[in-house]
Amino acid sequence: MALNRSNKPQPGNKINFDPPHFNKFKLNNGLEVYFLPKTELPIVRINLVLNCGSRYDPVNLKGLANLVSMCIDEGAGEYNALQLSDEIDLIGAHFSVYSDDDSIHITLQVLAEHFDKGFELFKKVLLSPHFNEKDFEREKRKVLTRLIQFRDEPEYLANTAFEFLLFGKGDPYASPIPGFDTTVNSISNNDLKNYYSSYFGAENAAIVVVGSINENELRSSLNIFSDEWNNNVKKKDFQNDLNLSDKRLFIVDKKDSVQTEIRIGHLTSKRNEEDYYNKLMFNLVLGGQFTSRINLNLREKHGYTYGASSRFNYYKDAGIFNVSTSVGIENTANALDEIFSELNEIKNGVNEEELQFAKSSIIRKFPANFESYGQVASNFVGKIIYGLLDDYFDTYIEKIKSVELQDVNEAANKNILTGSLLTVLVGDYEKISEQLKTDKYGDIVKLDYQQLPEIS
């Protein structure tokens, strides 16, 4: 008998998944430690997260945290920059330092057999960086050259212009992490040293360790570490005041572009337990995955783009909702109209089938978030940054399951603010503006990216 292929096969027995349980403890110096033994491969992963990042950059020194993260491993302890890099390569370790808006991250991934050596090097970078003038000047010139290159990159222009205009000049989250030419030019090596002594303290940090290492061995390494890292940095206060604005549209002129980069969105409440899950659910339907309404509309129905998506992005003390895509320039207005129409439509809510799909995909995907050592560590770093509760991963699935259609639909109606949409387009001004001859987009402003820091 021929096989009947018309029915989708049913799943086998349900899989039980127990999320990883970290051991949490505090060292004498105040550093919070999260440790998870994970032994299927001989790998140890460390993520240290410092509560600082570019949001603390003084307004005239934007790009400071980024330069700190670039210079901190340019020589430390008895090693100069090149020797230090060699020592890391000799044990085949992956080591990185980078800054984002809320944090500076230092990460190490190393084979278990090289953990001791790797951790020694990690500590040298953290505790005894040189901050030499010569290395500083070189890295600063590198950033200034990179800023020139960014002017050619449409995604970068779109992302940074969008966030700058959304937060508004003066807000700590407004500026791009690498800063602007003028602000980077003003940064001195002393600023780096001051930043380091103001923020690099154990009580202002947390460390996540995942891997194939015995807990007693780890604890004795960490106790030594605790004695070595003793300074009195306290967590810094942070305040910002964010306001929604009227609907408006900016075109960053990039002559002869063949595509238009599009960003549309508005501010949203910062991450909190009450509405996080509801927002997550309706966004999955709207633009959070391949078969979302926005992607199917713009890509699979109209062929305007290679892909389109929407998201709620959260900083520690701010939230952003945005839609992003890149379309053939002749379809700029068409694509905008379709996006606006999807945003209007989602305010009417989603249906039960859409919600079930969203729930199912998130719940069943949950175990795959803990596959690699780096994934597990960064999931926990996320939990630390957002100050989520200790049982966050244990209760995650239950929380998703208990989301109700009515609450999701209220959240969609409340959290999509079509009257306050900021639109940023990067592309050929002449070709775009001739398509936008109506008032439905709000005020239209032409922008030269280099003038961005002056726009208030």
Distance CA 160, CA 414 (A): 26
Is 365 among the residues that bind other proteins (CB under 8 A)? Answer: yes
93, 114 contact by CB (below 8 A) = yes
Is 94 among the residues that bind other proteins (CB under 8 A)? Answer: yes
User: What radius of gyration do the chain's Cα atoms show?
Assistant: 24
The correct pick among 20, 77, 111, 242 for binding other proteins (CB under 8 A) is 111
DSSP one-letter code for 200: -
CB of 364 to other proteins, least distance (A): 2
Is 310 among the residues that bind other proteins (CB under 8 A)? Answer: no
x/- mask, other proteins, residues 63-82, rule CB under 8 A, reads: ------------------xx
What DSSP assignment string belongs to 33-57?
EEEEE--SSSEEEEEEEEE-SGGGS
CA dihedral 317, 321, 327, 331 (to 10 degrees): -140
Smallest Cα–Cα separation from 407: which of 218, 266, 277?
A: 277
CB of 354 to other proteins, least distance (A): 11
Distance CA 102, CA 94 (A): 23
Q: Containing H/E element for 444?
A: strand 443-447
Around Cβ 59, how many Cβ atoms within 10 Å? Answer: 12
List Cβ neighbours of 153 (8 Å cut-off, separation of 6 or more): none
User: With contacts defined by CB under 8 A, how many residues of the chain interact with other proteins?
Assistant: 78
Is 1 among the residues that bind other proteins (CB under 8 A)? Answer: no
CB of 351 to other proteins, least distance (A): 15
Q: Which of residues 117-146 bind other proteins (CB under 8 A)?
A: 138, 141-142, 145-146
Residue 106 vs 318, nearer CB to other proteins = 106
The correct pick among 235, 306, 402, 418 for binding other proteins (CB under 8 A) is 306
Distance CA 112, CA 118 (A): 9
The correct pick among 234, 301, 399, 440 for binding other proteins (CB under 8 A) is 301
CB of 367 to other proteins, least distance (A): 6
Is 274 among the residues that bind other proteins (CB under 8 A)? Answer: no
The correct pick among 107, 226, 257, 278 for binding other proteins (CB under 8 A) is 257
Is 256 among the residues that bind other proteins (CB under 8 A)? Answer: yes
Is 253 among the residues that bind other proteins (CB under 8 A)? Answer: no
Distance CA 31, CA 206 (A): 6
Is 304 among the residues that bind other proteins (CB under 8 A)? Answer: yes
